[in-house]
Amino acid sequence: MKKSTLKLGGIATAVALVSVMASCQNKENNTAATTKKTETAVVSAAEKIVYVNSDSLLTKYQYYKDLKVKMDGKSQTAQRDLASKQQAFQREVAAYQQQQQTLSADQRASTEERLQRKQQELQTYTQNAGAALQNEQASENEKLYDKVADYLKTYAKEKGFKMVLTYSKGNSAILFADEGLDVTSEVITGLNAAYKK
């Protein structure tokens, strides 16, 4: 459960990278001019740089909330299924241990082989179920990332922003930013409205 929260929480960093790349509108034919501008970059008052609090974004974006509930549910279902299979296997082992003295050597050997195969199958099942859940999580994270990045690209273009940064308490390169540059609530409102559609 913590893994899914951390993975989804890690998307915030990825959102920052995409938003920076997406909102910067560099033209291919101006690469030489861009290089010169970067060396002596001066941000004018008209060129706005804003930021989004990724912590708030993830806790207030309805798509993320729905995704978290969905993935937590799938994780719990997988854990219950696995626990059920493990308990059934443990009951089988316990039954064998009780009957072990009454079985012939051939019967003990074949039962032990069967139990070893079952144990290996259970381990394989556990690994496959975990991998499937991680793959689905990665796919859902990518969809979340794309939704936020696409929205921020459009949002930045409409508002005339040159850059959208991300801020996350304890994991941010931004040490200080004027609160007037915080567009988090506006972005959350827009994302939620787009999600409702």
Q: Rounding to the nearest 10 degrees, give the CA dihedral for residues 6, 9, 10, 11.
A: 140
The mean pLDDT of 151-161, rounded to a whole number, is 92
DSSP letter assigned to residue 182? B
Residue 9 reports pLDDT greater than 50: no
pLDDT digits (tens, 9 = 90+) for 95-104: 999 998 899 9
- Give the pLDDT band (50/70/90) at residue 89: very high
pLDDT attached to residue 174 = 78
pLDDT digits (tens, 9 = 90+) for 25-37: 333 333 333 333 3
Residue 106 reports pLDDT greater than 50: yes
- Give the pLDDT band (50/70/90) at residue 46: low
pLDDT attached to residue 148 = 93
Residue 6 reports pLDDT greater than 80: no
- Give the pLDDT band (50/70/90) at residue 47: low
Higher-pLDDT residue of 43 and 135 is 135
Residue 144 reports pLDDT greater than 60: yes
The residues, ordered by sequence, that sit 6+ positions from 43 with a Cβ below 8 Å of its Cβ are 49
Please report where in the chains the tokens 């909102």 appear, as a residue. Answer: 23
The mean pLDDT of 39-54, rounded to a whole number, is 63
Contact of 78 with 133, CB cutoff 8 Å: yes
pLDDT attached to residue 91 = 95
Please report where in the chains the tokens 């990332």 appear, as a residue. Answer: 145
- Give the pLDDT band (50/70/90) at residue 92: very high
pLDDT attached to residue 25 = 35
The mean pLDDT of 158-171, rounded to a whole number, is 87
- Give the pLDDT band (50/70/90) at residue 2: very low
**SS3 breakdown of the chain: % helix, strand, coil, rounded to 5?**
80, 5, 15
- Average pLDDT of the chain is 79
